[in-house]
């Protein structure tokens, strides 16, 4: 199953793609391909950054899916700073070559949304979870499990986009936001959750099962 109501090139990137293409064409026309090569490379980079391909979505009822593409940088017991509870945290770090579309890890309703302004530290660092600019969603599944999903800005990222508010209902794999140019997503899961990934694993949004809820 897939959930993909959006174009393969994310709409958030259309202005950047258009500007990069226009620059490449103008420099090519004015100075030739040799001088324009860096601008064509920039255009290719911008296109790959804003790609947003469809993905297979596993349907196991207790599965928690990856909310983003990237690499697992944390799997640890900790305290959920939003729901004030003991939990398991799994963190996905996105570099500039990963897809930056963010998708819901579970089927559930948005109970609450929080936005916190902050710093722009390297998103691979643990302290980025509590010091960087971030946007958090409290999701509640139909069987009452609480999942907190947090978009965290990175060293280069300067814009977190989130398109849902409290009361919205999300299907697993449904696209709900985007982070521009390098970032991280933290998922806080209830005690008893079993991780299905390990540190260093590469994951794909919606396709990779991060964990299994109790």
Just list the catalytic residues.
183
Q: What letter would DSSP give residue 55?
A: -
Paired tokens of 129:
């979870």
Full strand arrangement of the beta sheet holding 108-116 = 169-170, 108-116, 134-140, 146-153, 183-189, 85-94, 70-80, 202-203
- Half-sphere CA count of 128, side-chain side, radius 13 A: 25
* Residue whose tokens read 């299994």: 212
Alpha carbon 174 to its chain's center: 12
Instruction: Count CB atoms within 10 A of the CB of residue 45.
Output: 13
What separation, in Å, do the N-terminal and C-terminal C-alpha atoms of the chain show?
A: 23
């Amino acid at each position: 199953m897939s959930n993909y109501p959006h174009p393969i090139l994310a709409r958030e990137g259309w202005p950047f793609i258009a500007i990069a293409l226009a620059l490449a064409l103008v420099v090519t026309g004015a100075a030739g391909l040799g001088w324009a090569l860096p601008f064509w490379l920039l255009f290719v980079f911008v296109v790959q950054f804003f790609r947003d391909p469809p993905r297979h979505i596993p349907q196991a009822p207790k599965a928690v899916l990856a909310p983003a593409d990237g690499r697992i940088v944390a799997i640890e017991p900790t305290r959920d700073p939003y729901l004030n509870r003991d939990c398991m945290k799994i963190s996905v770090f996105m570099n500039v070559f990963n897809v930056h579309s963010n998708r819901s890890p579970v089927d559930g309703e948005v109970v609450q949304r929080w936005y916190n302004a902050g710093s722009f530290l390297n998103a691979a660092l643990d302290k980025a979870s509590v010091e960087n600019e971030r946007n958090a969603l409290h999701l509640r599944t139909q069987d009452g499990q609480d999942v907190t999903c947090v978009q965290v800005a990175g060293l280069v990222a300067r814009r977190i986009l989130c398109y849902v508010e409290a009361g919205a209902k999300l299907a697993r794999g449904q696209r709900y936001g985007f982070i521009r140019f390098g970032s991280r997503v933290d998922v806080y899961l209830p005690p008893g959750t079993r991780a299905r990934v390990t540190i260093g694993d590469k994951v794909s949004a919606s396709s990779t099962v991060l964990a299994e809820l109790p």
